[in-house]
Structure 1
C-alpha cells in the first residue's frame, strides 16, 4: 500500500489518545459496570399479548427499528420475508424469492447488510448478501439505518440493514416450533426448531436451531419477436422448481468479568437446494404439437452453501471511559454444479427433424473469508461524549470455475460423460485500515453527532497467471441532528459521505467473450470506489402511547459511477467474422491478397468493453411510514401498518439518461392486525406492491413489472404457553412480467436494430403454512 500521511497520523493519534493518562479535568469519573436489566421472556414470542408496532429509537442517527414481534404474526420464514414489510426495500427477484434487498430501490450492492452490526461476506459479485439465507427465527430485530456514522463502515450509499440476532443477555426462557407449508402443486415442506436461554454458571447462554423446508414451483412463458410489434419468432414454456432445505443454528454466551462484559456469539446457516427447469420451445404461439417443437431443454443446479460467523467482544472500563475490543471471523462457501442439456430440432424441415443433443456442465466454487478486529474507546467530556477507534479488515475471496461441453448427433443416444473441463481460478485480497473519530452530545431537546472516518484499502487480484494491484483511500465525514421540539414531535437531519466498492467481477483481469451480445468484457483492476454525498431530513411524531408516524426526504449525489465503456479493441466475434469473410473471399478468388480489389476491409461492429469510473448520478425520494393502534376510532385492539416510498434517480450513460438500474418507481405496504382478546385469537392481512423497474446495460434493456402480494393470517392462543397460526401468502397468484430488448452491439442499440424482443411472464400459486409454538 502506498504510504498515506493522513491515515498514519489518525492512527497514531488514536493510539496515543487511548493509552495516554487522563489529563482532562472535565472528563467524568470512571464508568461503573454495565447494569443487567431483566432479560425479555421468550414466551412472549410464542403468545403475543399485544400487537407490536415500530419502535421509536433514541438514536441520534435516523434508525427505524422493528422487533421480531412486529413481523411474527405473519410467520416470516427468512429475513427477506421480514424486509418486504418495511419502508423503501424492494426486490427484483423471481416470484416468492426475496434475496437481494434493494434499499431505496438501488441495486443490492448499494445496501450494506450487517449482522449484529458487523459486515459479512455473501454470494453476490456485487458484494451483496442474500438476506433470504438467514431464517427469521434467529432474529431479535431489524434496523434500517438511513444514514452513515463514523463508527460504521462507509459501504452504505443507500443505507444499511442491520440484522440483530437473539443473544443470551436479552432473552430468557425456551420454546419449540413446528409446522408445515403447503404449496400450489400439492407439495408439503416441514419446518421446526427450538430456542432456549438462561443462566449457566456465572454467565448467560442462548442456543437455537431451525430447519426450514424451501420450495417454489413456478410456471414461465416466453414469447420472442423480431422486434416490438414485429413478426413472431418462437415460444418457450417452462417449469421452474426450487426445492431444498435450510439448516441454521446460533449460540450466544454473555458474562460479566471485572468491570466489563464478555460476549461470545456465532451462527451457522447451511443451504442445500436443487433448482430444476424443463423447457419446451415451439415455432407456434399456441401449439404444443411435436410438429412445432424446436428444442427440449433441461437444467439442473445443485447448490450447497455455508454461512458461518464467530465473534468475541469485550467491553470494559479503562482510562476514564469504556473500551471495546472486538474480534470476528466470517466465512461463506458456495459449491454449485449446473448442468444444461438440450435437444435441438431443425426448423427448416416439416416437422422439424432432430439436429443434435448438447450438454454443458459448470462447476463453480467460491470461498470468501473476512477477519475483522476493532479497537474503540468511548468517554464523556463534560456534556459531550467522545469516541475514537480503528477497524482492521482482511478479506480473501477465491473462486474456481470448471466447464465441460459435450454433444452427439444421433437421436436417442446418451451424451458422453463430462470429463474434459476448462478451468479458471481467481483470487481477490483486500486489506483495510479504517480509523475514525466521533463526537456526540445533547443540549436540552437537541442531540447531535459528528464524526470523521478514513477508509484506506489495498487490493491484490489474480486471475490464472495474471496479477494486478490497486489501493485507494477516502475521507468520510458524517453529522446528525435530532431535535425533540415537543414530547411527541421530532426532526432529524443527517449529512454524510459513503462509498460503493467495485464488483468482484469488474476488477478481475479476465476477458469474457460475448458477455454483452457480441461484445466482450475485460476487468479493470484499477477501478476506484463510487463516492456519494447524502442528505436525509425527517419528521417523526408519536401517536398516543404506541403509534408512530414518520416522513423522510433523502438525496444522494453519486460521483465516479462505474460504467461499461468501449476500449476500441475488436471483439473475438468481430475477429472471427472477419476471418470467415476473408476465407470466403479467398475461396472465391484463389491467389488473391490484400491488394486485390474487393478484398474485405476490417470494420468491426462489436468490441471489447471494460469498466471505468466515468459517470455521475442522483438518487432522491420521499418515505412515509405509519404504525398505530386505532384507539382514536374506538378500536384499541386493531393495529394499522402503512408505508409508502416514492423513488427516483437519474444517470447519464452512453445511450442517454435513465434511472439507476432496477430501481422501482415506488414500493408500499398496507396491513392490519385485529386482536379478539376474549377468544384468544387474532387475524390480519397485508398487501404489498412495488412499481416497475427498468435496467439498461450494453446490448440489453429490461422492464420488470410485479403484481401485488396479499397475505392473511389467523392465530389462536392457548393459555400463556402455546399458539397456532395459519398463514396464506401470494393469495393473488402474483406474476412477474418482463420485456427484454436485445441487440448485438452498441450501434444496433442506438439505432434500435433489434436482435430479438422477448416477453416473459412468471407466476406461482398460493402458499399456506400452519405453525405451532409452545413455551416451557
Structure 2
C-alpha cells in the first residue's frame, strides 16, 4: 500500500505542478474579439457532523485537524493554527485561496475582494459562517485578521444543523478560544505593495480568575493600495454605426484604517455548565480617489476625463452568547443568543470633463445604511439506544435594513427611483432534526432534515417587496471504513440545498452608472425572485498517512433549479433610455466536478527524505445552463480548473523554516446569454515565506505574496448592439515582515 500511495502522491504533484505552470493543456482559443491584444489506529469516536463545536477527544487529548476530519461522519476539512500562521497572511481571504476547491474572485493579490468561491461557483453559492452563525452585513474577509481565528472548517455538503443555503459548500470560521493559550501574544507587521506601507499591530491577552477565563484579541491596521488599469471600448449603435471607440487609462488610490476586537469570556459552573460571551467589533474608515483619462479613437466618447473621490465610514458589531447545559445520560442543551448591527455612511462625487477641458457633469452619490439583527438558536442532543446520537433544534432570526441612497446629476435626481428611502425586513425560521448512527463498527451514517422559511418585506418609493420562500432539505451522509485497515474510508452524500435570493437583489435600490452603457449599466432589484434549489450527490475516497497526512479523491454533481442570473435591458427613465441590469430566474443548470488532494511529509512516502511537508490539490469542474447555446455555456464565474502546490522545509541545522505556495486558475470564457460572452484571464500567484525562531517566545517571519505580479485581463463581447470591452488590471507583489512575541 505504501508504494501505491507514494506513486499516487508523486503523480498528483506532477499534475499540479504542470497545471500551475500552465503546460498541461493548450488554453482555449476564444472568438477573435476576445483574444488578448496586448495516523495510528484509534478507537472510532465521531466528531459532530457540523463541526460547530470541537468535542472529539482521543486518548485524553484534543483531536488534531486530520483526526477531526477522519472521525466526522459528514465530510469536512479542518485547518488550524498551523495553516493560519504559515504564510504570514494579513487577512483570511489570502488563506482561503490555498485550500482545496476554494478560489477567490477578482485579480490576484486583490485581498479577496472578488468573493469566496467553493467548487468554482460564484458569490452566494458558498455559505460563510462565523462561529456557526451568519455574519452581519458589512463583514468581509479583509476585516478579519487570522490572529483572531482559531480554525477554519470547510464542509462540501450541507448539514441540517446549519442553514442549507450552501449549494457549493460551507466555510465556518471559528474565532479564537482561550482553552489553550496561556501567554500574551504580540504581533507587529508591515507589508509593502508598490511602495505603499500597510502596518498592523495585534495583541492577544488571556486571563483567568476562579471559574472565569477570558481571551482578548485586538488588532489595529492600516491598508494602502494603488492600482492601474487600461480599458479598451468599442460600442456600435443599433443601426451599425460607430458610437464610440476609446482607450481608458484608470488609476486609483485607496486608504483604510481599521480597529477590530474579539474578546471572549467563559464562565464554568459547578455542574460543568459553561456560559460564553463573545463580542465581535469592527470599525473601518476608508477613502479613495479614481482618475480616468480617455483617448478618443473614434466616435463620440461620453467624456475625456473623470475624477472621483469617495469616503466611507463603517462600523459593525455582534455579541454572541452560548450556554451549554449538561444533563443526565449524556444529554446536552446548547442555547445561543446573538444580536448585532452595522452602520455605513458613504459619499462619492464624480466629475466629468470634455476633450477641451470644459466641465461636463457632476454626479453626487450619498448612501446611509443601517442594519439590525437578532438571532436565537438551540440544539438538544441525546444518545438514544446503541450507536445513536439524536439532535433536534431551532434557528430564529429577524433583521431590518434601512437604506437611503441619493444620486444626483448636476443637482437633480438622476431618475425617479433615486433618493427613495428603503426599508427591508427579513424573518427566518428553521427547525431541524438529525441522527448520527453507528450502524456497525465501520459504518456510520448521518440523517438530517431541515425546514427553513424566509419572509422578506420592503417598502419604498419605487416598489413594495413581499417575498416568501420555504424549503425542505433532507440530508444523508455516510462513511464506510474499509475492513483490514484504519487508514482507508469511503464517503457518500445525498443532499438538498438552496440559495436564497439575496436581499440586495430583491429590493429596488438603484445604483447609477456615470457612463451608462450595456457593459456599464445601472443596477436594480427584482422583488419576484425565487430561491435556487439544488439536489446533490457527493462521493469521496480518503487514505490517511501517518498522523497528519492524507490522499483523497472526490466527485460531486449538483442539479440546480431556478438559477438566478442578471440580464441587461434598455428601459425608459426621466433621463431617457438607460441600460439597467436586474436579476431574474433563468431556468435549470447542472454542475459537476472532481477534486484531488494530497498532504503529507516526504518521510512518509520516501526513505531518508528531507523534513519537508507537501500540500497539493487539483480540481476540475463542468457546468451548463439550460437555454443558452454555445461552447462556453457554463455557470457564471466557475473556472474549469484550479490547482495549488505548496511545500514547507524545516531545516535541521538551523531554527529556520522555508515555504512556498503556487496557486493557478486558467482563463475562463462564459456565455452569459445568446448575445453576451465574457472572459476572465488566467491567474498564477506565487507566495514565499521564511520563519526564523530566535527562541520559544520570539520568531520573525518574512513573506512575499503575488510575487509573479501577473496582469489580470477581463473582456466582454455583446452582439446586439455590438459592444466590445477589455480591461487589463496591473497587479503588484507584496513583501512584508512580522515579529511574533509571547510575553
| TM-score bin (small chain) | 0.7 to 0.9
Q: Does 1:105 align with 2:120?
A: yes
Shift of the 673–469 alpha-carbon distance from structure 1 to 2, 3 Å rule, reads same
Measure the CA separation in 1 of the matches of 2:474 and 2:193: 50
Alignment of 1:718 with 2:694, yes or no, is yes
Structure 2 match to 1:241? 253
What residue is the counterpart of 2:337 in the other structure?
327
- What does residue range 503-652 of structure 1 map to in structure 2 within 5 Å? 503-509=502-508, 523-563=525-565, 571-572=571-572, 576=576, 611-631=583-603, 632-633=605-606, 634-652=608-626
Deviation at 1:168, TM superposition (A): 2.0
Q: Is the 8 A contact 1:54 1:67 kept in 2?
A: no
Q: Alpha-carbon deviations, 1:240-261, whole Å to 9, x = none?
A: 2232223211111112223411
Instruction: Give a deviation string over 1:360-418, Cα, whole Å, max 9, x none.
Output: 121112223321111221111112111111111112122210123239xxxxxxxx9x9
- 8 Å Cα contact 1:327-1:373 kept in structure 2: yes
1:674 aligns with 2:627: no
Matches within 5 A, 1:54-453: 56-97=69-110, 98-99=112-113, 100-123=115-138, 130-184=140-194, 186-225=195-234, 233-257=245-269, 258-283=271-296, 295-318=304-327, 320=329, 321-345=331-355, 353-383=356-386, 384-406=388-410, 423-442=419-438, 443-453=440-450
So what's the TM-score if we normalise by structure 2?
0.83
Contact 2:213 2:265 in 1 (8 A): yes
Deviation readout 1:471-518 (Å, 9 max, x if unpaired): 231111001111221211111111111111112233225688878569
Q: Is the 8 A contact 1:56 1:548 kept in 2?
A: no
Question: Take 2:510 and 2:202, find their aligned partners in 1: how far apart are those partners?
Answer: 46
Contact 2:341 2:371 in 1 (8 A): yes
Number of positions where the alignment pairs a residue of Structure 1 with one of Structure 2 = 664
Q: SS at the partner of 2:88?
A: coil
Q: CA deviation at 1:52?
A: 9.2
Change (3 A) 1:122 1:93: farther
Q: Distance in 2 between the 1:742 and 1:769 partners?
A: 42
Asked whether the equivalents of residues 518 and 568 of structure 2 are also in contact (C-alpha less than 8 Å), the reply is no
State the alpha-carbon separation in 1 of the partners of residues 185 and 579 from structure 2.
Answer: 61
- Partner deviation per Cα, 1:568-590 (whole Å, 9 max, x = no partner): xx82069957xxxxxxxxxxxxx
Quick check: which has more Rg, 1 or 2? 1
Residue 294 (structure 1) shift: 6.3
Which residue number in structure 2 is paired with residue 21 of structure 1? none
1:437-476 to 2 correspondence within 5 Å? 437-442=433-438, 443-464=440-461, 466-476=463-473
Deviations 1:29-85 (A, max 9, x none): xxxxx99999999xxxxxxxxx99896342111101111211312101111011011
Quote the Cα distance in structure 2 between the aligned partners of 1:564 and 1:237. Answer: 27
Aligned residue for 2:685?
A: 709
In structure 2, what is the Cα distance between the partners aligned to 1:531 and 1:524?
A: 18
Gap runs ≥5 in structure 2 = 1-54
Structure 1 residues 27-66: aligned runs within 5 Å: 56-66=69-79
Deviation at 1:338, TM superposition (A): 1.8
**Contact 1:54 1:548 (8 Å CA) reproduced:** no
Deviation for aligned residue 1:625: 1.4
- TM-superposed CA distance for 1:438, in Å, is 0.6
Superposed displacement of residue 538, structure 1: 0.7
Maintained 8 Å contact 1:515/1:521: no
Q: Name whichever of 483-492 and 252-261 sits farther off.
A: 252-261
Q: RMSD in angstroms over aligned alpha carbons?
A: 3.3
Structure 1 range deviating more: 691-700 or 523-532: 691-700
> Given that residues 518 and 579 in structure 2 are in contact (C-alpha distance below 8 angstroms), is that contact kept between their aligned partners in structure 1?
no
Q: Distance in 1 between matches of 2:322 and 2:340?
A: 15
8 Å CA contact 1:244, 1:273 repeated in 2: yes
When the two structures are superposed, what TM-score results if normalisation uses the length of structure 1?
A: 0.79
Q: Decide whether the 8 Å contact of 1:283 with 1:293 is kept in 2.
A: no
1:96-135 superposed Cα distances (whole Å, 9 cap, x missing partner): 2213101111112111100011111234xxxxx6322211
Assess, with a 3 A threshold, how the Cα gap between structure 1 residues 739 and 218 changes in structure 2: closer, same or farther: same
Q: 1:694 to 1:372 in 2, by over 3 A?
A: farther
Aligned residue for 1:10? none
Partner of 2:490: 491
CA 1:666–1:368: 2 relative to 1, 3 Å: farther
SS at match of 1:571: strand
Call closer, same or farther: CA 1:37–1:104 in 2, change over 3 Å.
closer
Q: Secondary structure at the match of 2:137?
A: coil
CA distance in 2, matches of 1:308, 1:547: 38
Q: Could you say what secondary structure the match of 1:76 adopts?
A: coil
In the superposition, relative to structure 1, how do residues 116 and 636 fare at CA in structure 2: closer, same or farther (>3 Å)? farther
- SS of structure 2 residue aligned to 1:487: coil
Cα separation, 2, equivalents of 1:204 and 1:648: 49
Shift of 1:271: 2.4
Q: Which residue pairs with 2:733 in the alignment?
A: 766
Contact 1:519 1:571 in 2 (8 A): no
Task: Assess, with a 3 A threshold, how the Cα gap between structure 1 residues 387 and 284 changes in structure 2: closer, same or farther.
Answer: same
Partner of residue 23, structure 2: none
**Range moving further from structure 2, 497-506 or 550-559:** 497-506
1:731 equivalenced with 2:707 (yes/no): yes
Residue segments in structure 1 that go unaligned for 5+ positions in a row? 1-33, 42-50, 124-128, 286-291, 346-352, 408-415, 578-605
Task: Tell me, yes or no, if the aligned pair for 1:518 and 1:573 is still in contact at 8 Å.
Answer: no
Partner of 1:661: 636
Q: Structure 1 pair 179/293, CA: closer, same or farther in 2 (3 Å)?
A: same
Question: C-alpha separation between the residues in 2 aligned to 1:681 and 1:458?
Answer: 55
CA-to-aligned-CA distance 1:125-152 (integer Å, 9 cap, x gap) = xxxx632221111111111111111111
For the residues of structure 2 that align with 1:337 and 1:425, how far apart are their CA atoms? Answer: 16
